[in-house]
Amino acid sequence: MTAPGDVDGGTEPVEAAVAQRRGRPRSVAVDTAVVETVLHLLEEGATIDDLSIERIARCAGVGKATLYRRWSGKDDLMLDVLRSIDEDPPALGGVSVRDDLVVLVDTIRRRGLAKRTSAVLRQIMAALQSRPELWDHYHRTVIEARRDQMYDVLSRGVRTGELRDDIDLETLGDLFSGPMLARSMLRPGTTLEDGLSERMVDAILDGIRKSV
């Protein structure tokens, strides 16, 4: 007999799964142990597709039924894994556009330096096609907030005349976030030294500052 949600493909919509948590009161210690187990496996090189509910339960030292009392399936569990590594958007000074851009780009750099965080994010990117609902949730809850923060800074730069006004915000955002994302997410083991964010931001600003 198949346990409820015993499909690692996550056939239920992710949002419905989140809303349908069921069972007796959850143990924070068990939840933490399971999430830590998934993070460790991903950090050691496992892919999301490699991870079955059975394998996660075995490695965490709990029964499979224990996981199904807490999560409807693997995608539901992965949402909690993603939340565990997420950070609030960084605080910005709101005075110098250049300094705020450095803070935003350096946030990407520091996430790339965290082996655990970068491993999970690379797996989420790799799962884009096979697990679109998981990616959609991550995009809406994490990426959009950071993108909007970037757009707010860039809009301010255009208004104050610090940046050119003939480049759309989406392109500007890609110019600032893209290089650090490529280096930190797509080139494992590459150098992410201190001062890199400042150099990247200044190099881009040289090309998009408003002419005087």
pLDDT at residue 26 is higher than 80: no
Average pLDDT, the chain: 82
Q: Residue 91 burial by CB count (10 A; 0-12/13-18/19+): exposed, middle or buried?
A: exposed
Residue 12 pLDDT class (50, 70, 90 cuts): very low
Query: Averaged over 176-200, what is the pLDDT?
Result: 87
The Cα 95–Cα 110 span in angstroms is 23
3-state secondary structure of 163: strand
Residue 23 pLDDT class (50, 70, 90 cuts): very low
- pLDDT at 5 (0 to 100): 38
As a whole number of Å, the CA-based R_g of the chain is: 20
- pLDDT at 54 (0 to 100): 94
* Cβ neighbours of 65 (radius 10 Å): 12
The Cα 7–Cα 147 span in angstroms is 33
% of residues, the chain, pLDDT over 90: 42
- pLDDT at 200 (0 to 100): 95
DSSP annotation of 209 = B
Residue 35 pLDDT class (50, 70, 90 cuts): very high
Report the candidate in 74, 31, 15 with the shortest Cα–Cα distance to residue 50.
74
Retrieve residue 184's tokens.
């930190």
Residue 3 pLDDT class (50, 70, 90 cuts): very low
Q: What's the pLDDT tens digit per position in 139-150?
A: 887 788 889 999
Q: What's the pLDDT tens digit per position in 115-128?
A: 777 777 777 777 76
Q: What's the pLDDT tens digit per position in 73-85?
A: 888 898 888 888 8
